[in-house]
Amino acid sequence: MTNDNLIIGGHEFSSRFILGSGKYSLKLIEAAVRDAGAQIVTLAVRRANTKDEESILDYIPKEVTLLPNTSGARTAEEAVRIARLARELGCGDFVKIEIMRDSKYLLPDNQETIRATEILAKEGFVVMPYMYPDLNVARDLVNAGAAAVMPLASPIGSNKGLATREFIRILIDEIDLPIIVDAGIGRPSQACEAMEMGAAAIMANTALATAGDLPLMAAAFRQAIEAGRKAYLSGLGRVLTRGASASDPLTGFLRD
């Protein structure tokens, strides 16, 4: 296999694992990025720490592309405000749009997400909207200028896996942008399955942050994502509707 890079907004990445940086120690980030092989790491924007608190930027290797999210936004306008502040922080033009009005299930507001995507794409951002997997919304996001579409697998932080499998499959089949499965992926096997289906990449945070050994789980996810990608590129073997098909020569042992 020569070049199988992931291309987002004209930028190329050899890794298909986008790593979250929330809910774990800054000191683990470097090992997590290394063992995940991640080239994109998500961040949030909040009121600046005062006093002597350390900056997360000191722990993320310089070659990593930062993907600020707009978490905390409840409307398109708030997301746009956060995205502009993130860009002012001087770490590039990527932004993951995340807009939620619902604080119990943390489900994204698709309509506000379309509006924010349109505004930010016009301002030159590489816009990666987190969304509830709906084909019509995904098409609207494409038209609004998104660089990728990030459907949820199950509620954020739930580790419940591909609850929206069939709807993500529709996006993969119909949308001509990278489909990056975000939120809810709890195990490497689930990441692998999404990649086998043809997802372009996997974003995970809680699955690692709540694992027993974070760097080891990062490595497990990396391998699962790479395995799923290779399986997708290969094309999966067929499934029989019924019956069996011998893998051995169809002769009896020691008989003609």
Partner 1 sequence: MLKINGESLDLAGVTLAAYLADSPFDARRIAVERNGVIVPKSAYDATVLADGDVIEIVSFVGGG
- Note the residues at the interface with partner 1 (CB under 8 A): 20-24, 26, 29, 42-52, 55-57, 66, 68-69, 71, 81, 84-86, 88-89, 91, 156-157, 183, 203, 205-206
Residue whose CB is less far from partner 1, 97 or 232: 97
Q: How far is the CB of 197 from partner 1 (least distance, A)?
A: 22
96 has catalytic annotation: yes
Q: Would you call 106 exposed, middle or buried from its count of C-beta atoms within 10 A (0-12, 13-18, 19+)?
A: middle
DSSP H or E run through 13: strand 11-13
Point out the catalytic residue in the list 51, 62, 96, 160: 96
Residue whose CB is less far from partner 1, 91 or 170: 91
Residue whose CB is less far from partner 1, 23 or 230: 23
Q: How far is the CB of 211 from partner 1 (least distance, A)?
A: 14
Q: How far is the CB of 87 from partner 1 (least distance, A)?
A: 8
Report d(CA 14, CA 5) in Å as an integer: 5
- Residue 161 one-letter amino acid: G
Residue whose CB is less far from partner 1, 50 or 245: 50
Q: How far is the CB of 59 from partner 1 (least distance, A)?
A: 9
DSSP state of 166: H
The beta-carbon contacts of 6-12 under 8 Å, at least 24 apart in sequence, are 6/178, 6/200, 6/201, 7/178, 8/94, 8/126, 8/128, 8/147, 8/148, 8/178, 9/93, 9/94, 9/126, 9/127, 9/147, 9/148, 10/126, 11/65, 11/126
Neighbours of 139 (CB within 10 A): 15
Please identify every residue annotated as catalytic: 96
